[in-house]
Structure 1
Amino acid sequence: MAFQLGLRPPLGKHFKNFNSSFFSGKPIGIRKLLAVRLCALAPKDAQKLVVEVKEKLEKECNSLPAGKNGKDDEELILWFLKDRRFSVEEAVSKLTKAIRWYHEFGVSELSEESVRSAAESGKAYVHDYLDVNSRPVQLVEASKHFPGKHDFREDEKLCVFLVEKALSKLPAGKEQILVIIDLRGFGTENADLRFLTFLFDVFYYYYPRRLSEVLFVDAPFIFQPIWQLAKPMLKSYASLVRFCSAEVARDEYFTDETVPANLRKR
């Protein structure tokens, strides 16, 4: 898909902030309708739909693997049903693609050791503490990322491993994580449109509704054309992005005790 590079006049030190919402961009009436539908579905009804999806996957996609992240993983099926507004057909379609990807990518085989090479750069990691909204935090320091230094597959593995690690830190009753991309010191040598779109694709296709918000911290003007190229490809997920300063990220999302080291006052 081709996109034209549309440069705009400077926007100042930071870009405009975006409000985050899974339903952003939809008319308020539709948001209410969807919310009512999600709340109105009784647990026993949801379980019936889970069984229906399992049966369809078994019948129509018998070759899909079973087990965790497989065709009989009821927790996974329920999550995709929620994502697809409890449409069995849509859930089956999206699950089929996701389950194949989990298996082919080798998600269950990822480990600290398997991603060590890319992780040693320090460019991406999961924070030790939750943010003020009790969300696990995945951090990316863009100035430490150099496309081509590692095989792209290694960077993909690190990304998915960290998503899995962040999700494993979810407190009871919480379902989404926060991603912070620190753009201080970012230069053309760090630009990687392919990886940025991969990150959002991972959340859209394989971890739907798991991404709460993405903070782009202190984005320099040089990042603007990259964002203009990426934004159309991210579609509705672009509404989850907020451009902010390090001070805002530090003060609004963490306490003095839990703020990440790279966001502390210098």
Structure 2
Amino acid sequence: MAYCLKLQPPLGHHFKAVSINSKKSKQIFKFKIRSCAVEPENVHKLVVEVKEKLEKEHNTLPVGKNGRDDEEMIFWFLKDRNFSIEDAVSKLNKAIRWRHEVGVSELSEESVKSVAETGKAYVHDFLDIYGRPVLIVEASKHFPGKHERDEDEKLSAFLIEKALSKLPAGKQEILGIIDLRGFRTKNIDIRFLTFAVDAFYCYYPRRLGQVLLVEAPFVFKPVWQLVKPLLKSSPSLVRFCSVETIREEYFAEDTIPASFGG
């Protein structure tokens, strides 16, 4: 199995290019990395060390896909933590527990149907012009308390996984679009917004390439002031923009989401 991980930063950002070649043989992954502080021959050793540390210190964690021996996930978290074993283990412990509690591997269209039918969040059928899958949220359709918290979390996990499954070869990031047209105080849900930030920082690190906040009304300003500090070093990923910006800068004429069509 071959992988090519090439980060494409948002506008105004500059990352080092990372080239990875991964071959799976008897559950062993070999990684080839260029322009990285860690020598290529040491990467798989680090992955193994993280696996062993997770088994020793957190042996109650599940195994298999999304588990403590998932080498692809371990590698991703190592990269996110600049190849620090201790930091990766700490973050993986939290992420694996959450994925197990939510049942990420078992989620399906049917299991999230009741929440998905609200239309408040979905994955767009087309990629943006940068080749990124697109996750769209219509904030005016979210009402705190209408569904249980775990139902909203499961829908979020299902849609993130669905978006990631649409990644073209060589792409690792998705685009998030939050449509704030019609947003009112009754739609404000700080607890869920806090979860959403955690989801992309703790459970799916470096998977969100950019977030577009579309037509933000005045009532959203205090919400942004509360959420912004939670973004830590990532507020630059957020861009406030108009519907016209969505149409003109992110999609081809025949791939514009219907809700933003002319």
Give the shorter-chain TM-score range.
Answer: 0.7 to 0.9
Q: RMSD between aligned alpha carbons?
A: 2.3
Equivalent residue number for residue 199 of structure 1: 196
Please state if 1:111 is matched with 2:108.
yes
Q: Report the equivalent of 1:130.
A: 127
Q: How does 1:128-207 map to 2 (within 5 A)?
A: 128-207=125-204
- Residue equivalent to 2:63: 66
Specify the alignment match of 2:74 in structure 1: 77
User: What's 1:43 paired with?
Assistant: 40
Question: Quick one: structure 1 residues 37 and 174, their matched pair in 2 at CA, closer, same or farther if it must change by over 3 Å?
Answer: closer
Match for 1:196: what amino acid?
A: L
Following superposition of structure 1 onto structure 2, how do residues 91-102 of structure 1 map, counting pairs within 5 Å?
91-102=88-99
1:254 aligns with 2:251: yes
Structure 2 CA distance for aligned equivalents of residues 102 and 216 of structure 1: 27
The equivalences for 1:224-239 within 5 A come to 224-239=221-236
Select the residue among 83, 86, 89 that pairs with 1:89.
Answer: 86
* Partner secondary structure for residue 83 of structure 2: coil
Distance 1:233-1:67 versus aligned 2 partners, 3 A rule? same
Distance across 1 between alignment mates of 2:50 and 2:189: 38
Q: Tell me if the contact between 1:22 and 1:212 (Cα under 8 Å) persists in the aligned partners.
A: no
Q: Distance between the aligned counterparts of 2:11 and 2:47, measured in 1?
A: 23
Q: Summarize the Cα distance change of 1:92–1:42 in structure 2 as closer, same or farther, 3 Å threshold.
A: same
Listed one character per residue, the Cα deviations across residues 188-213 of structure 1 (whole Å, up to 9, x for unaligned) are: 11111211121111010010000100
CA gap 1:203/1:22 in 2 versus in 1, 3 angstroms? farther
Q: Secondary structure at the match of 2:59?
A: coil
Residues 205-240 of structure 1, C-alpha deviation per residue, up to 9 Å, x if partnerless? Answer: 010000100000000111101111111122223221
Deviation at 1:184, TM superposition (A): 0.7
* TM-score, normalisation: structure 1: 0.84
AA aligned opposite 2:202: Y
Aligned AA (1:66): V
Larger RCO (CA within 8 A; separation ≥ 6): 1
1:162 CA drift (Å): 0.3
**What SS class does the counterpart of residue 129 from structure 2 fall into?**
coil
Query: Kindly, what percent of the aligned residue pairs are identical?
Result: 68
Secondary structure of the 1:223 match is: helix
- Shift >6 Å, 4+ stretches: none
- Give, in angstroms, the shift of residue 39 of structure 1: 2.4
TM superposition shift of 1:127: 0.3
In structure 2, what residue type is equivalent to 1:99?
I
Give yes or no for contact 1:65–1:71 (8 Å, CA) kept in 2. Answer: yes
Residue ranges of structure 2 left out of the alignment (5+ in a row): 1-8, 19-32
Partner residue, 2:241:
244
Q: CA deviation at 1:156?
A: 1.4
Task: Please report how far the alpha carbon of residue 37 of structure 1 lies from its aligned counterpart in structure 2 after TM superposition.
Answer: 8.8
Q: CA deviation at 1:82?
A: 0.3
- Aligned residue pairs total 240
Q: Which ranges of structure 1 fall in alignment gaps of 5 or more residues?
A: 1-19
Q: Structure 1 residues 23, 132: CA separation in 2 closer, same or farther (over 3 Å shift)?
A: closer
